[in-house]
Amino acid sequence: MEFNASNSRPCLPKWVRLQIDPVSGKPILLHQEAVIVLNQTGYEILGLCDGTRTVSEIIQTLENQYPGAPAILSREVSEYLRAVSKKGFIEWS
């Protein structure tokens, strides 16, 4: 499915897990045989990708959580989701 911020709903595929590493305490993304260490921002964005929220709703949630966030938050979240989508870490419904 093509990315569209108004109605696309990202979700993690069945073979991808988002969790906190029990040893390091850092957020990680488990993808088949790979472990990707995420920064806190990436972890929060992917944590909202549950298939129930549109990209616009994810952005709104983050803006509500971080009222002082830069005005470019919308663009940065959209670009991040496009990038992780290209790597197969999220699917679109």
Query: pLDDT digits over 11-67, tens only?
Result: 999 999 999 999 999 999 998 878 999 999 999 999 999 999 999 999 999 999 988
Q: Is 3.40.50.10420 the CATH number for 10-86?
A: no
pLDDT > 90? residue 2: no
pLDDT > 70? residue 4: no
pLDDT > 70? residue 1: no
pLDDT range class, residue 93, cuts 50, 70, 90: confident
**Which pLDDT score is estimated for 7?**
79
Q: What DSSP string runs through 36-61?
A: EE--HHHHHHHHT-BSSS-HHHHHHH
Report the alpha-carbon distance of residue 23 to residue 6 in Å, rounded.
38
pLDDT > 60? residue 80: yes
* Domain assignments of the chain as residue spans, ordered by start: 10-86
Report the alpha-carbon distance of residue 2 to residue 15 in Å, rounded.
21
Is residue 10 within 8 Å of residue 81, measured between CB atoms? yes
